[in-house]
Amino acid sequence: MRRIFTFFTMMLATLTASAQSAESVTVPEGWTASQGEGNTINLQYSGNKRVKSVKVKIYHCFSVSETKKVVFSPGNLQYKASADTWRFAEHQWDYVGGTDANNVAYGNVYENGVKSDNTKIAADYDGWIDLFGWGTGDKPTHTSVTGSDYENFNDWGDNMNEDVYTWRTLAKAEWDYIINTRTTVSGIRYAKVKVKGVCGLLLLPDSWTSDIYTFSSNNQKDASFEEISDEDWEKIEVNGAVFLPSVGERRSNKKYANDNGSHNYNYGGYWSSSVASSSQGHCVGFHNKNVYTAGSPYKYYGRAVRLVRDAK
């Protein structure tokens, strides 16, 4: 998700580094970033301290409209009810999953040696969950099947906001722009892949170039999931790719399934902040046969959350 560059200099200096744009760079106190020529930025130190080194974090941006770009969080959102604790997944391929009707266990997240399970969602559950009802940022373990209980959208990002960043959930139109509309350097917006044994949807940043990695298919909704080696994944991730794992879904009565109810497997559903009706919310979804941005499940169904922050 990010690259860290270390520069060694003495006293006052102006440095140049490669980056998508100055807006995607975070620099330490005393330094400023401005757009340079082409794909470079200028870093200038204006303080009065003796400078030995500076670390610059370069984030990769995704256009969500003609005028706005965002940066994705480093992983899916997770919640531990017993400690009232939120976190981003440690790895992009991490997902909690659950045990389905055939007693098959999905997921790869553990707590104290015990596998976490979305079907155990409860106010006192001491494992992690990552499938939430629509707009339940203020009540993440809510599982009521009454549509009016989900009338207001409470953004999960409010639980992760920091002094520097404000996290939020994408709207339906923004998801649609990322997957179907935006222009990237290579023309590639997404690919269906398998990382660390987990199928999912790979989103490529606006700056992605074809020489980084060649996919067997891209921007193709009915493509098969292409297996990515560990070595190739390191190269893909460091260049800004965002991986959305096939998380499955939590249905009514806390039941878990890895398909979408129509025998379409390796399903992944991610909420938007947009409402479809009084009882339904919009989500982006994908599985072995399709990728779509106009899903409208019941609001009490459990879907994953991948937050973003606006690029500034």
Across the strands, what pairs with 78? 87
More confident residue, 96 or 20: 96
Q: Which pLDDT value is given to residue 22?
A: 47
The H-or-E segment that residue 175 falls in is helix 172-176
Confidence of residue 9 (pLDDT cuts 50, 70, 90): very low
Regarding predicted confidence, which is higher, 150 or 57?
Answer: 150
Nearest alpha carbon to residue 101 among 246, 255, 249: 255
pLDDT at 26: 64
Lowest-pLDDT range, 32-46, 55-69, 82-96?
32-46
Does the pLDDT of residue 13 top 50, yes or no?
no
First to last CA, the chain: 17
Percent of the chain with pLDDT over 70: 85
Whether 104 has a pLDDT exceeding 60, the answer reads: yes
Question: What is the predicted pLDDT for the residue at 55?
Answer: 62
Average pLDDT over residues 170-189: 97
Residue 18 has pLDDT above 50, yes or no: no
Summarised one tens digit per residue, pLDDT across range 129-144 is 999 999 999 999 999 9
Q: Which neighbouring-strand residues pair with 115?
A: 110
| CA atoms in the 13 A half-sphere facing the CB of 234 | 2
**Segments in 177-241 forming alpha helices (H):** 230-238
pTM of the model: 0.86
CA contacts within 13 A on the Cβ side of 304: 31
State residue 76's pLDDT score. Answer: 98
Tokens of 80: 């531990």
b or e along 41-72 (b: 16 or more beta carbons within 10 Å of the residue's beta carbon)? bebebeeeeebeebebebbbbbbbeeeebbbb
18 CB neighbour count, 10 Å cutoff: 12
Q: How far is CA 149 from CA 133, 154, 167, in A?
A: 10, 12, 24
Residue 236's Cα: distance from chain center in Å?
A: 15
Q: Is 84 exposed, middle or buried (0-12, 13-18, 19+ CB in 10 A)?
A: exposed
Q: State the Cα–Cα distance between residues 103 and 282, nearest whole angstrom.
A: 29
Is residue 37 scored above 80 in pLDDT?
A: no
**pLDDT for residue 259:** 79
Q: Which residues of 224-253 are buried (b: 16+ CB within 10 A; e: fewer)?
A: ebbebeeeebeebbebbbbbbbbbbbbbee
Between 216 and 49, the more confident residue is: 216
- 197 contacts 163 by C-beta, under 8 angstroms: no
Residue 199 in this model has a pLDDT that exceeds 60: yes
Sketch the domain layout of the chain as residue ranges.
2-59, 64-312
Q: What is the mean pLDDT of residues 217-229?
A: 97
